[in-house]
Amino acid sequence: MKESEKIIADVTSGEYEHGFVTEVEQDFIPKGLNENIIRLISKKKEEPDWLLEFRLKAFRQWQKMKLPTWAHLDIPPIDFQDIVYYAAPKRPSARKEIDPEIEKTFDKLGIPLHERGVLSGTAVDAVFDSVSVKTTFSETLAEKGIIFCSFSEAVRNYPQLVRKYLATVVPSADNFYSALNSAVFSDGSFCYIPKGVRCPMELSSYFRINARGTGQFERTLIVADEGSYLSYLEGCTAPMRDESQLHAAVVEIIVEKDAEVKYSTVQNWYPGDAQGRGGIYNFVTKRGICKGSGSRLFWTQVETGSAITWKYPSTILKGDNSLSEFYSVAVTNNYQQADTGTKMIHIGRNTTSRIVSKGISAGHSQNSYRGLVKVLPAAAGARNHSQCDSLLLGDKCGAHTFPVIESDNPGATVEHEATTSKISEDQLFYCRQRGITEEEAIGLIVNGYAKEVLNKLPMEFAVEAQKLLQVSLEGSIG
Amino acid sequence: MNTLLKIENLHASVGEKEILRGIDLEIASGEIHAIMGPNGSGKSTLSAVLAGRETFTVTQGSVTYDGRDLLALSPEERAWAGIFLGFQYPVEIPGVSNVNFMKAAVNEQRRQRGLEPLGAAQFLKLMREKMAYVEMDSSFSGRGVNVGFSGGEKKRNEIFQMAMLEPRLAILDETDSGLDVDALRIVASGVNKLKRPDNAFIVITHYQRLLDYIVPDVIHVLYKGRIIRTAGKELALEIEKKGYDWLIHESE
């Protein structure tokens, strides 16, 4: 084994930190998927008829759809009848709002569910398996007219808003997994920022899978009304198990005239073990629309977890002079597979998009960037710049890029740059000669490589992401 | 004499090719040794072997540093023990600023020696002080390690790093190559400021001119993997005048 390989092997043998299971009494529905199951989920959630109809329609569409096979992924067959689609922790008593065990779980994950002593200025909607167990700072935010609550609560309390926006950016039948999600989604987060309001704190959703044999299907719906501002964070973890679990979410973001939304994700689902056993299948549809003129949407993602990732946070640039940026770091190690990227659809005039994608592959993993930049005939003066870099650690992993550019406007400017590099033995030796250990050196080099993206994250998130990059790659060189 | 480094019958190869073919060398604290010799004589290999580069295999001989078996140590362990290599071709590390790089290096070395890490203020003060040694502008600290640096800036950065780490044995591998006279003067004055009775330098150079600024105690001439001549500083002038051929001729 070459020296650099040995080092990568050492550095990428890190342990997943959040692999514990919470012992809590849960309410499960029978496994399997049919109209009765969907009716049961809807009934458990005491939903209005329109939402049940929405689900059933999506289910009927889903039944006619085929699994997508175009991604550069090797996905083992999934038995959709072998999944429990709803699992909710039981309330310990009528008086207690939340099970102390669950509160402890989130504490352990670094997500406080109480408001006292929280200095970070982050409000959180905590989703545990199929339900939102707690949303913090709802009342403080309500004083500014901001709605931040679980999706179920939004359906109960703000049905007009939910109906107005639901599935307007990601139609149910958009793809196989969005249709599945639309049929069985159980909870998620809802957020509405009124006109001209600058949200005074970061809002966040934290998704935790706990129960065995279940899938998690949640929806996030974010609406930023004219001239408003929001920074939204999303995090996720799951227990270590030998069998894989499915997570199929839908995120929709509506950005009205002159509003700005920053959506940052640190995705740390259980990635499976070093032999490729277990891990989450993360098949997610995220899309936003810059609806009004001058609206801005920024995606930043740090993807380190999941056995398989299939995810393309995208923006429809409909408003004139609207702007969207996509910054991504995707790390794959061991036998992880990721096919991730973005779509920028330019419709309005003078719309601008920027894509910066940094892939890091180690072990036997496969890491693909897939992007589409589409400029419609009306999008005069549209501009895009894409930069896709791949970093390889070791020689058994793969990095691939699939950039597609479709421009129907001759005046548009579309630029694409791509690089592939390796951590060189020279770099490692240079660091080690200065007394920096192998592991630290790789962390330093990888973080340097990803810096442009990490810089876009909110401060606290950036620190966490940096650590995560290093842990994810522990033992990777090999 | 307080021996810091003792090399005995050192042989080293790359693959099948033997490059060092029996080196003997002894350096005491407080000394500066120059190693000269024509291209391909094994000068850079010797420095790389001393720093622990795994590209080379030591096939025979021993190296004792400060009473320890140097060859048994990893590159970082050698650094912690006070060995510094000034690279002939300093490596670029994009996205990692000089300040972060040096902080990682200095604090890891301190940790290994049982010292507390330096706080931000102390560290920046130290950086400013040492940057002045090599007349480096403070804007360098925020830039990526060696990224976009000119040849001269890279070499000054090596001397700056050496000043930060205060090694006991510094090996400068052709630090003078590609430098103009001003840069050469700056680099040399950095070395002279760092010279102390308890440290030692190995200055590897192809040309005599560096030795106008750094005055060695001993000069060794390396040829085909062996030291063919060891003498005082006046040897450099003779080489300047007559080249290496006469030495090679005498040795054969």
Q: What tokens does A389 get?
A: 């870099």
Contact A177, A219 (CB under 8 A): no
Q: How far is A76 from chain B (nearest CA, A)?
A: 38
pLDDT tier, B1 (very low <50, low <70, confident <90, very high otherwise): low
pLDDT tier, B56 (very low <50, low <70, confident <90, very high otherwise): very high
Q: Which residues pair with A328 in a beta bridge?
A: A301, A357
Contact B43, B173 (CB under 8 A): yes
| Closest to B188 in 3D by CA, of B168, B169, B216, B165 | B216
Q: Is the pLDDT of residue A13 over 60?
A: no
User: From CA B56, how far away is CA A110, in angstroms rounded?
Assistant: 47
| Percent of residues, chain A, with pLDDT higher than 90 | 53
Q: Is the pLDDT of residue A7 over 50?
A: no
When the pLDDT of each residue in chain A is averaged and rounded to a whole number, the result is: 88
Contact A33, A62 (CB under 8 A): no
User: From CA A68, how far away is CA A177, in angstroms rounded?
Assistant: 9
User: Left if phi > 0, otherwise alpha if psi is -120 to 50, otherwise beta: which for A179?
Assistant: alpha
When the pLDDT of each residue in chain B is averaged and rounded to a whole number, the result is: 92
Q: At what angle do helices A35-44 and A176-184 cross, to 10 degrees?
A: 50
User: From CA A333, how far away is CA A307, in angstroms rounded?
Assistant: 9
Q: Between these two residues, A93 and B64, which has the higher pLDDT value? A: B64
Rg (CA), chain A: 22
Q: Is the pLDDT of residue B154 over 50?
A: yes
User: From CA A351, how far away is CA B143, in angstroms rounded?
Assistant: 33
Cβ of B95 within 8 Å of Cβ of A433? The answer is no
Q: Between these two residues, A318 and B234, which has the higher pLDDT value? A: A318
DSSP A29: P
pLDDT tier, A14 (very low <50, low <70, confident <90, very high otherwise): low
User: From CA A155, how far away is CA A164, in angstroms rounded?
Assistant: 11
* Cα dihedral B117, B120, B121, B127 sign: positive
- For the beta sheet containing A383-392, the strands, ordered from the edge strand earlier in sequence to the opposite edge, are A131-135, A122-128, A202-208, A229-237, A260-267, A296-303, A323-332, A352-361, A383-392, A413-422
Q: What tokens does B239 get?
A: 């080489």
A44 alpha carbon, distance to own chain's centre: 27
Q: What tokens does A468 get?
A: 């995560």
User: From CA B168, how far away is CA B30, in angstroms rounded?
Assistant: 9
pLDDT tier, B177 (very low <50, low <70, confident <90, very high otherwise): confident
Q: Between these two residues, A29 and A460, which has the higher pLDDT value? A: A29
Contact B210, B192 (CB under 8 A): no
Minimum mean pLDDT range among A215-229, B24-38, B140-154: B140-154
Contact A376, A345 (CB under 8 A): yes
Q: Is B142 helix (H, G, I), strand (E, B) or coil?
A: helix
**pLDDT tens digits for range A386-395:** 999 998 888 8
Task: Taking residues B221-245, report their average pLDDT.
Answer: 90
Q: Is the pLDDT of residue A478 over 50?
A: no
Q: Is A244 helix (H, G, I), strand (E, B) or coil?
A: strand
Contact A172, A61 (CB under 8 A): yes
Contact A386, A420 (CB under 8 A): no
For residue A75, the surrounding DSSP H or E stretch is none
Best B99, B101, B173 residue to mutate vs chain A (most A CBs within 10 Å):
B101
A59 alpha carbon, distance to own chain's centre: 23
User: From CA B207, how far away is CA B217, in angstroms rounded?
Assistant: 16
Name the B residues in 76-95 with CB < 8 Å from any A CB: 76, 78-80, 84-85, 87, 90-95
Contact A130, A216 (CB under 8 A): yes
Q: Where are the alpha helices (DSSP H) in A143-300?
A: 151-157, 159-165, 176-184
For residue B226, the surrounding DSSP H or E stretch is strand B226-231
DSSP B91: P
Q: What is the phi/psi pair of residue B48, to 5°?
A: -65, -40
B227 in A contact zone (CB under 8 Å): no
Contact A396, A363 (CB under 8 A): yes
Q: What tokens does A348 get?
A: 């309005």
Best B77, B87, B91 residue to mutate vs chain A (most A CBs within 10 Å):
B91
Pairing of strands A352-361, A323-332: parallel
Cβ of B96 within 8 Å of Cβ of A434? The answer is no
Domain membership of residue B198 as a residue range = 3-251
Give residue A476's pLDDT. 61
Cβ of B80 within 8 Å of Cβ of A435? The answer is yes
Give residue A434's pLDDT. 97
Q: Is B184 helix (H, G, I), strand (E, B) or coil?
A: helix
Amino acid B188 reads A
Minimum mean pLDDT range among A15-24, A289-298, A433-442: A15-24
B51 in A contact zone (CB under 8 Å): yes
Q: Is the pLDDT of residue A417 over 50?
A: yes
User: From CA B73, how far away is CA B137, in angstroms rounded?
Assistant: 35
Give residue A1's pLDDT. 41
Length of chain A: 478
Q: How far is B197 from chain A (nearest CA, A)?
A: 23
CA distances (Å), origin A357, targets A110, A211, A389, A424, B54? 28, 33, 6, 21, 34
Minimum mean pLDDT range among A181-185, A302-306, A329-333, B207-211: B207-211
* Cα dihedral A447, A449, A450, A456 sign: positive
Length of chain B: 252
Give residue A4's pLDDT. 47
Q: Between these two residues, A451 and B200, which has the higher pLDDT value? A: B200
**pLDDT tens digits for range A193-244:** 999 999 988 898 888 888 888 888 999 999 999 999 999 998 877 778 788 8
Q: Which residues of B touch A445 (CB under 8 A)?
A: 93, 96
Give residue A116's pLDDT. 62
**pLDDT tens digits for range A44-76:** 889 999 999 999 999 999 999 999 999 999 999
Look up tokens 């090399």; give the residue.
B7
Best A431, A447, A451 residue to mutate vs chain B (most B CBs within 10 Å):
A431
Q: Between these two residues, A94 and B47, which has the higher pLDDT value? A: B47
User: From CA A250, how far away is CA B99, in angstroms rounded?
Assistant: 42
Cβ of A432 within 8 Å of Cβ of B74? The answer is yes
Q: What is the phi/psi pair of residue A316, to 5°?
A: -100, 110
Task: Taking residues B19-43, report their average pLDDT.
Answer: 94
Q: Is B192 helix (H, G, I), strand (E, B) or coil?
A: helix
Q: Which residues of B touch A452 (CB under 8 A)?
A: 95
Q: What is the DSSP string of B12-60?
A: EEETTEEEEEEEEEEEETT-EEEEE--TTSSHHHHHHHHHT-TTSEEEE
pLDDT tier, A41 (very low <50, low <70, confident <90, very high otherwise): very high
User: From CA B232, how far away is CA A454, in angstroms rounded?
Assistant: 55
Q: What tokens does A387 get?
A: 């930069």
Task: Taking residues B58-62, report their average pLDDT.
Answer: 96
**pLDDT tens digits for range A91-126:** 766 556 778 888 888 787 777 777 765 555 788 888
Q: Is the pLDDT of residue B211 over 80?
A: yes
Q: Report how many Cβ contacts below 8 Å link chain A to chain B.
A: 74
B56 in A contact zone (CB under 8 Å): no
Cβ of A445 within 8 Å of Cβ of B90? The answer is no
DSSP A17: T
User: From CA A133, how far away is CA A151, in angstroms rounded?
Assistant: 11
**pLDDT tens digits for range A242-253:** 888 899 999 999
Q: Which residues of B touch A429 (CB under 8 A)?
A: 51, 53, 75, 91
pLDDT tier, A179 (very low <50, low <70, confident <90, very high otherwise): very high
Domain count along chain B: 1
Q: Which residues of A touch B108 (CB under 8 A)?
A: 435-437, 440
User: From CA A384, how far away is CA A73, in angstroms rounded?
Assistant: 27
pLDDT tier, A12 (very low <50, low <70, confident <90, very high otherwise): low
Q: Between these two residues, A305 and B62, which has the higher pLDDT value? A: B62
Q: Domain of B27: which CATH number?
A: 3.40.50.300
Contact A295, A262 (CB under 8 A): no
DSSP A174: G
User: From CA A252, how far away is CA A268, in angstroms rounded?
Assistant: 21
Q: Is the pLDDT of residue B89 over 50?
A: yes
Cβ of B105 within 8 Å of Cβ of A435? The answer is yes
Task: Taking residues A158-168, report their average pLDDT.
Answer: 96
Q: What is the phi/psi pair of residue B234, to 5°?
A: -65, -20
Task: Taking residues A426-432, report their average pLDDT.
Answer: 94
Look up tokens 């329609």; give the residue.
A57
Which residues, including other chains, have CB under 8 Å from residue A285's CB and lie 6 or more apart?
A170, A174, A175, A177, A178, A181, A249, A250, A251, A311, A312
Q: Nearest Cβ partner of A436 from B52, B94, B108?
A: B108
